Amino acid sequence: MRRKLRRTAQRLGLDIRRYGPQSSPVARRASVMAGHGVDVVLDVGANRGQYAGELRSAGYTERIVSFEPLAEPFEALSREAKQDPRWRCLKLGLGASPSRSTMHVAGNQAASSSLLRMEGWIADAAPHQAYVGTEMVNVARLDDVAPTLVGATDRMMLKLDVQGYELEVLRGGPSTLRRAEVLEAELSLVALYEDQPLWREIVDYLHQAGLELVCLDPNLHDDDGRLLQMDGIFARSRRLNSRGT
């Protein structure tokens, strides 16, 4: 019966799998978070609150702080969080230094918006993601805002969905990064934005900070099936720390 259901679903373009850490990215994330006792998530690049909503659906009930610098997505985000007393929203971008900066606004409900310029081939391959305008946004350093959000005994997770700006956010938050028990970030195999770091540079940077790559999940392919981007989950490594790295 199980095989018959799976074959029927596949004919409809669907896939049915048993829910659990071995088969589900959502379950894998939840398992890592639970194993590290995460009780506050800094959701950087929140857009309309999709990630926080996924955390709640997976059973996470502790605090979430979402950062979104663009006006229209922030309004939608605030509406999503309004009835959740443990979900706070800040209209703010994060980077290596405080600034007023130009953000390029993407046409896919601003989901691919970035402080970096998009590589031209992306707009050609996926016109719905092309930039449709710009907006001036406030940018702060993570280390300047985190002390008021993360308590001394909190076990924090940092999530980065910042479209190629990952290292700039991390460079503005070395003290906060040392506090992170878990970190999730997009890892690009090819440059989607100008001057963005690729996956190996981010993995090495986080390894040096004592965070070990524990999960990888593909999230973006081109039309030929080539993998372009993955979601990586990193966790505080007792093994690395014990060796003094």
pLDDT at site 59: 96
Is 47 part of a structural domain of the chain? yes
Torsion of the alpha carbons at 179, 197, 133 and 53, rounded to the nearest 10: -40
Is 101 part of a structural domain of the chain? yes
Write the DSSP assignment of 67-113 as a string of letters: E--SHHHHHHHHHHHTT-TTEEEE--EE-SS-EEEEEEEETTTTTT-
The total of other beta-carbon atoms located within 10 Å of residue 125's CB is 13
Structurally, the chain folds into a number of domains equal to: 1
Which of 54, 89, 57, 59 lies closest to 75, judged by CA?
89
Give the domain extent around 189: 20-242
Q: What is the pLDDT of residues 147-157, one digit of tens each?
A: 999 999 999 99
pTM higher than 0.85 for the full model? yes
Average pLDDT of every residue of the chain: 90
Is 2 part of a structural domain of the chain? no
pLDDT at site 7: 54
Task: Look up the CATH number of the domain holding residue 131.
Answer: 3.40.50.150
Average pLDDT of the residues in 107-128: 86
pLDDT at site 172: 98
pLDDT at site 98: 98
